[in-house]
Chains A and B, each alone.
Chain A
Amino acid sequence: MLAKIVIVGAGPAGIRAAEVLAGAGLQPVVLDEARQPGGQIYRQPPPGAERDAFTLYGSEAGKARNIHAAFGRLGKSVDYRPDTLVWNCSSNALNILHKGRQGIVPYDRLLIATGAFDRVIPFPGWTLPGVFTLGGAQIALKAQGVSIGKRVALIGAGPLLPLVASQYLEAGADVAAVLDVTPFGAKIRALRGMLAVPEYARRGLSLLLKLKKFGVPTAYDVRAIEVTGNWHVDGLKWRDGAGRWHRIACDAVAASFGLKPEMQLADLAGCATYFDEATRQWLPSLQAGGRSSVPDVYLAGDCAAIGGADVAELTGKRAAYSVLRDLGIGFAADELKGIETTLARHTRLRKALDAAYPFPTHLIDAMSDSLTLCRCEGVTVGELRASYVKTSAPDVNRLKAFTRVGMGRCQGRVCGAMAAEILAGQSGASLPDVGRLRGQHPIKPIPMVV
C-alpha cells in the first residue's frame, strides 16, 4: 500500500512539495485553510474580482501565475482539500474542521508548510481600529482588492515593508509614509551579503526606487511610534534618530516587525525548537533536508525558517525529496543538487537580511506600563511587570497562569513573544530561560457543535 503523505498548507512550499510527491505517484493529501491555493504571499482574489494579477502582486506577478498554474496542473494527482482547518496533531493523525464538520486525517508522513505570521510589537494606539499588520494589509489588497484606508502609513522592520508599499502604490493607494524602524546604515553594511542572490538585490533596489518615484516620504531608524485617534486612526507620530517628533495625517496604519514561523502544528507534532539569538525568536530545530526532530514530520517554507517565497518553493521540493528518500523511493538527484546550491546562496542572503533589518528591541524597551500587550484578554505591560514583582514567575507559562496573557482567542500568537520579552526585561532572565508559550490544541478556535 502507498504511504499516506499529508501536506498542510498550499502556499509556495506546499504546492512545490505536492508537485514532487505527485510526480512520484504518491497522491499526497493537501490540506489548506484558504479557499484557493497560493498561500498568503500568492493569495488569490475571490472569483469574480476585477483586479488582475499584476496589479495585485506587482513585481511578483509572474511567480504567482507560475505557482497557481503548477498546482492547477496537478489535478487529480493530489487530494486537495481547501477550506480545511488543521487544529490538532497527535498519534500520526490530524484533527480537521471543514465547513463546520470535524474530521480526522491519518498520515504516515506529515509535511508541514504552514507559513509565517507578522511579529507584532505593541505601541501606543496599536489596538485602534485602522491599525493592521503588514501581512494583514497585504491580504486586504490581494484577497479583497481593497486598501486598509484612504491614506495609509506603513511601518516595518523587514523586506516586507518596501514590498507592501510598492503593492499599495501600484494599486493606486495614497501612501502617507514608509517608516523603517531599522537604520539605513545596516542595509549598506549588509549589501555585500545581499548580492549572494543578485536578483533579490536588484528587486529590492527597484522597490526603493519606486518609492522614490512616487515621492513617498520614507524614513529609517525610526525610534518611536504613536498612533493617534479616539475611535479610529487619525494620525501617526514618530520620532527620528535625532530625537525629533514628526506628525502624519492618515486613516490607516500597517505595522509589523519581521516574520515568525507559524509553528503551532509542528509544536503539537512534537517537533523540537530552539531559540535563535540572531533573530531573537524560537524556531523549529531542522535536520538535513527539511526533516524535523520527529521521524515522520518534515518542515518546509517559512514555518521551518523565514526565507521568503522563493526559498519556500525550494524547501518545499527539498522536503518532498526527503520524504521520497526516507520511503526508499528513487528519484533523479539532479534537481535536488541544484536546490541545495541555490539554498546555500539564499542562506547567505538571509543572514544579510537579518543584519539589514535587526529586530527593533528599542521599541520593546519603550513599552510603557499602560500599554495593552494581550488584546484578547486586555492585559497591560504594567500588569505583567507587577505580576513578576509579586510572584517571581520564572517562565512565561507561569506568567500566563497568573495574568491570562496569551489565554485568549489568538492563543498568544500575537502577544506571546512580547510577554516573554517583558518578563525577561523585568526578571533579568534570558529569553531562552523565560521560554515560550506551550502549544495546545485547538490551533485556532473550533465551534462546539453536535
Chain B
Amino acid sequence: MERLSVDVAIIGGGIVGCAAALALRKAGLTVALLEKGLCGAQASGINAGGVRQQGRHVTELPMTRRAAKLWPRLHETLGEDVEFRQVGHLRLARSEQDVQMLEDYAVTAREHGLYLQLNSGTVTREMFPWVSGKIAGSSLAVEDGHANPRLVTPAYSRAARSHGVHVLEFTPVEHAQWTGSNFEIQAPRLVVKSRHLVNAAGAWAGKFLSFFGESAPLTLRTPNLFVTEPVSYFMTKSIAVCGGAVYFRQVERGNVVLGGGPGWGDLKSERSRNRADTTLGQFARAIELVPELSGLHIIRSWSGLEGDLPDKLPIIGASRTTPNLVHAFGLCGHGFQLGPAIGEILCELIRDGRSQTPIDAFCISRFDAVAHQKMAGAG
C-alpha cells in the first residue's frame, strides 16, 4: 500500500481539477490529483470547444470575465498551443423579441466589462454574407472564440505534473473521510492524506458528496455533437442562436463542429453515444442560420458525460458539513471556458479562505429550500 501526504488532494482530472492542481502547486502547496481514468476524457474533452463569455448567466459574468483574461495567455501557462483562436462569437436573433433580448443582455454584460457589438439583420449580412438573410439581428463578442478540448485538459495535466503535482491517472477514489485533522482518501493500493480536499468529479461528484453527508440534485447531461467533412474556411465566427437550440463553429482545418440537443449516456457503464435522431433534427436548425452548411457530409459524432444541475449553474464553494472540503462541479455543459478561472478561484479558497471573484450564487446550500420543499411535500 502506497502512502502519500499532501496539502491538497483533488478528485477529478477534468479542466477544473487540472487547472486547480496547477494553480495550487504554483502557489507553493503540494498537490495530488486523483483521476479514475485519463485526464480530460469526459466533459472537458468531449465538449464543442466554445470559449465563450456571451450568453452566460449574469452570476457567471465575473467568473467568465476572469477566465477570458487567462485564455489568451494559456499557451504560455501550458507551454504549448491548444488551438485557442479568438475568432469571435456571434449570437443570432431570429425575431424582434430575440433582438430585444440581445440588447437587454448587452446592457447587463457591459456592467461587467463585456462589450458586445449589436448589429441589425442587414449589417449582420454585410459583415457575414454567409449568415441567412432571415436573421433579424446579432450580437458579436470579439474576445470570444474556441479551442481544442481534446488538447487543453491533457496539456493542463502535463503542466501540473511538470510543476510537481502528483497526477495519478487510472486511480479511482473508493472512499474519502475527514478524520478531524486530515482527509484520508483511499484508492486501489494507495492512501492519500491531505489537509484539503477538492471535489471536482464532474458527473461523478455525487458519490463524493455522499461520503460527507451532503447531497445535490446532480443529474447526467449528454451533449450531442457531430462534425462535417473539412471544407474551405468560410465561417469566421463561432455561432449560437437565441433560444440555444443549436451551436456550431468551423475549425481552421475546415471541419464544422455542431452541437445541441440530447445524446445518450449511462453513468454506471461510463458509456455515451450520439443520438442519430437528435443529429438529424439539427440539420434544419443549422441550415436555417447558415444555408451554406446544406450538403456538407457528417463524418463523425460523439457524446460524453457531464454533470447537470436544475438551475444550469455550477456548485462552487465550501462544503457545509466538512471543514477544508471544497466543491467545484456541475458545470452543466458550459465549464470549458470557465475552467482556468475556477482553478484560480479554488486556489484562493484554499489558500486565503475566500475568492476574489464572487461565487456566492454557486453555493451548494441554494438547493436546500428545494430539498426541504420536496420533503415537506412528501410528508
Name A's B-contacting residues (CB within 8 A). Answer: 88, 90, 95, 102, 390-391, 394, 398, 401-402, 404, 407-409, 411, 440-442, 445-450
Contact = CB atoms under 8 A, between A and B. Distances in A.
B229 interface: yes
B12 interface: no
A391 B298 contact: no
A102 B281 CA distance: 11
A448 B38 contact: no
Given A391-B158, A440-B274, A450-B283, A445 B150 contact: no
A407 B300 CA distance: 7
A436 to B, nearest CB: 16
B154 A445 contact: no
Interface string B205-226: 0000000000000000000000
Contacts of B378: none
A183 B284 CA distance: 56
Closest 8 CB pairs of A and B: A445-B297, A401-B150, A450-B284, A88-B276, A95-B276, A448-B283, A445-B299, A448-B296
Contacts of B286: 448
A43 to B, nearest CB: 24
Given A448-B294, A449-B295, A450-B283, A441 B154 contact: no
Contacts, number: 67
Given A90-B273, A449-B283, A409 B299 contact: yes
B274 A448 contact: no
Contacts of B302: 440
A375 B302 CA distance: 22
Nearest to A270: B271
A116 to B, nearest CB: 22
B298 A409 contact: no
Nearest to A395: B38
Nearest to B230: A408
B121 interface: no
The prevalent SS among residues of A at the interface is: loop
A402 B154 CA distance: 9
Contacts of A390: 158
Contacts of A445: 229, 297-299
Q: How large is the interface on B (under 10, 10 to 19, 20 to 34, 35 or more residues)?
A: 20 to 34
Nearest to A445: B297
B27 interface: no
Contacts of A447: 295-298
Nearest to A268: B273
Given A391-B154, A391-B158, A448 B301 contact: no
Contacts of B274: 440-441
A76 B205 CA distance: 57
30 contacts: A88-B276, A90-B264, A90-B273, A90-B275, A95-B276, A95-B280, A391-B154, A398-B41, A401-B45, A401-B150, A402-B150, A402-B154, A404-B253, A408-B299, A409-B297, A440-B273, A441-B274, A441-B276, A442-B298, A442-B300, A442-B301, A446-B297, A447-B298, A448-B228, A448-B287, A448-B295, A448-B298, A450-B283, A450-B284, A450-B294
A413 to B, nearest CB: 11
Given A394-B38, A441-B274, A402 B151 contact: yes
The prevalent SS among residues of B at the interface is: mixed
B293 interface: yes
Given A402-B150, A441-B301, A449-B295, A90 B276 contact: yes
B298 A446 contact: yes
A411 B299 contact: yes
Nearest to A400: B150
Contact of A449 (B151, B228, B275, B294): B294
Contacts of B229: 409, 445
Interface string B324-349: 00000000000000000000000000
A54 to B, nearest CB: 38
A403 to B, nearest CB: 10
Nearest to A409: B299
A90 to B, nearest CB: 7
B151 A442 contact: no
Contacts of A95: 276, 280
Contacts of B45: 401
Nearest to B283: A448
Contact of B300 (A88, A401, A402, A440): A440
Contact of A102 (B280, B294, B295, B296): B280
B299 A442 contact: yes
B17 to A, nearest CB: 18
A102 B283 CA distance: 12
Interface in B264-323: 264, 273-276, 280, 283-284, 286-287, 293-302
Contacts of A411: 299-300
Contacts of A401: 45, 150, 154
